[in-house]
Each structure stands twice: as C-alpha cells, then as structure tokens.
Amino acid sequence: MISFFDVTKRFPGGQVALDRVSFEIGAGEFVFLTGPSGAGKTTLLSLILRQDLPTHGRILVNGRNVVSLPRTKIPFLRRSIGVVFQDFRLIPRKTVFENVTYLPRILGLGSEKQRTLGYETLRRVGLAHKANAFPLELSGGEQQRVAIARALVNDPAILVADEPTGNLDEDLSDEIFELFREIHLRGTTVIVATHDRDRIRRAGQRVLVLHGGRLVRDGDAPVENSELEPVLSRGENGG
C-alpha cells in the first residue's frame, strides 16, 4: 500500500529531515510512527500526501509512483488518503456537515447522497447531532472527531494522522484511538504519528521509530516500555 525505497529529504536550508528511509506498509495494516520532535515524522507523512517531493528515492502509494505523479493527478492521490492533523484544521466558517461533505460536494454527488453520506459518516464518529453546529462551538475532542469524519467521508484506502491527540487529554485520546481501531478493523490502512509511548506499548501494533531522520526501528511494539525509552528519551516535550 505504501512503500519507501531509500528516501532522503533534504530541505533547501540543508537540514536532512529523512535519511535513506525504506519500509513497506501492506494494505490494512495499522502502523505507529514515532520518534522525538524533529525526527522527520511530519516530513514523512507530507511525502505520502505529495505535499513535498523527496530529494532522493522512490515512493509508491496505493500503486502510484508519487514522485513522478503529474501535478494535475495529485488531487486524485489525495482523495484516496484521509488526513487528520493535530490542530484539526476545520473550516470555522462552515458547519460541521459542510466540513465533512466538502469532498463529496466538489466530486459532484447529489445533495441527497451528500446528506446520507455526511450523516452516516458523522454517526460513525458519534456526532450526527452536531451536524449544524460550527466547529468552534465544539470541544477539542469533538472537533477532532469531525476532522476524522472528513477524512473518512470518501472511504479512503489510507488514513494518515499526524499527532492527532497532541491537543487532547487522556480520555479524549482514548476515544480518538478507539475510532482509529474501528477504522482499521473495517480494512483501512492506518498510519498514526504519535508521542504517546504508553499507548504504542499497549496497542501492540507495528511501530516505525524515526530519529534524526533515520529509521532506527521497524517492528512490533516493544513489550517493555524501557525498550522504547532509549530512542525516545530526547522527545520528552513533544513536537
């Protein structure tokens, strides 16, 4: 589903954000991406979404060669990837419903279909009753659930989340991760960048650990917290 072959990303300023990273994520996998602040997590996700190009290496996403993808095809790649951010990034002047149905609307679905799809998706995140509210009238956890609904509305093959619970407290984070688990169970490939070591440990899923742009570990979640500690100890304060 997602393959990185020897991917390096060097920014114009000279910073090496990713250094010869290679991995493969199969369809339907659930993968954590972790590492200290500045390790290159956001950069890695931005390459998947083709927000940026690697300096070197090959990237395949959902069968597409992302590096050679023509500009005009980029939107079609992105429609197959749902994306969730730490800061939600909802459009404040549009209602919850309009935020969620933005993509179906520009894809030209009829208004009846938009309604069904919008409410169905909002129901999945438990917010159908807030359809007509505006994002800023909702709590942080609710806003993030709306953002997840927006990411799910086009039934994407891949869901990418960049520190989705970074702004939320523990209970709300539980809700969000529960949602990701359900999404994964329905067959979607899920990649979540997070600092939450306890959660990674408890989840027992595959973890990619970045450090200074290098992929320092790729495997099942360590059983012991200490196993993750050495590589993560510098990322205490998040980022």
Ligand X SMILES: Nc1ncnc2c1ncn2[C@@H]1O[C@H](COP(=O)(O)OP(=O)(O)O)[C@@H](O)[C@H]1O
| Longest CA–CA separation in the chain, Å | 53
Q: Which of 31, 42, 127, 194 binds ligand X (CB under 6 A)?
A: 42
Q: For residue 237, what are its two tokens?
A: 């304060």
User: Which amino acid appears at position 200 of this protein?
Assistant: I
Q: Which positions from 14 through 33 interact with ligand X, judged by CB under 6 A?
A: 15, 17
Nearer to ligand X, 118 or 235 (CB): 235
- The CB-of-97 to other proteins minimum distance in angstroms stands at 15
- Are the C-beta atoms of 8 and 54 separated by less than 8 Å? yes
Q: Which of 22, 51, 65, 132 binds other proteins (CB under 8 A)?
A: 51
The sheet that has 214-220: what strands, in order across it?
A: 81-85, 158-162, 189-193, 30-34, 206-211, 214-220
Nearer to ligand X, 7 or 127 (CB): 7
Report the residue number, 11 or 76, with the smaller CB distance to ligand X: 11
- Asked if residue 78 binds other proteins (CB under 8 A), the reply is yes
* Count of residues touching other proteins (by CB under 8 A): 21
Q: How far is it, in rounded angstroms, from Cα 222 to Cα 205?
A: 9
Q: 203 near 33, Cβ under 8 Å?
A: no
What type of residue sits at position 185? L
Instruction: Say which entry of Mg ion, ligand X, other proteins, none residue 206 contacts (CB below 5 to 8 A, set by partner kind).
Output: none
Identify which range of 32-40, 98-106, 113-121, 200-208 contacts other proteins by CB under 8 A: 98-106
Using CA atoms, how far residue 213 sits from 8, 97, 144, 210, in Å, is 9, 38, 28, 6
Spatial CB neighbours of 49, under 8 Å, sequence gap ≥ 6: 77, 78, 81, 83, 160
DSSP 216-228: EEEEEPPSSHHHH
Q: Measure the N-to-C terminal CA separation of the chain; round to a whole number of Å.
A: 27
154 is in the binding site of which of ligand X, other proteins, Mg ion, none (Cβ under 5 to 8 A by kind)? other proteins
CB of 179 to other proteins, least distance (A): 18
| Residues 17-56, interacting with Mg ion (CB under 5 A) | 42
Q: Using the rule CB under 8 A, is 185 a contact of other proteins?
A: no
**In the bound complex, what is the minimum distance in angstroms from residue 33's beta carbon to ligand X?**
8
| Closest to Mg ion by CB, 133 or 216 | 216
Site residue total, ligand X (CB under 6 A)? 13
Question: Are 220 and 207 within 8 A, CB to CB?
Answer: yes
Q: How far apart are CA 119 and CA 130, in angstroms?
A: 10
The footprint of Mg ion (CB under 5 A) covers: 42
For other proteins, the binding residues (CB under 8 A) are 49, 51, 72, 75-79, 83, 89, 91, 93, 102-103, 105-108, 150-151, 154
Which residues of this protein are in contact with ligand X, per CB under 6 A?
A: 11, 13, 15, 17, 35, 37-43, 239
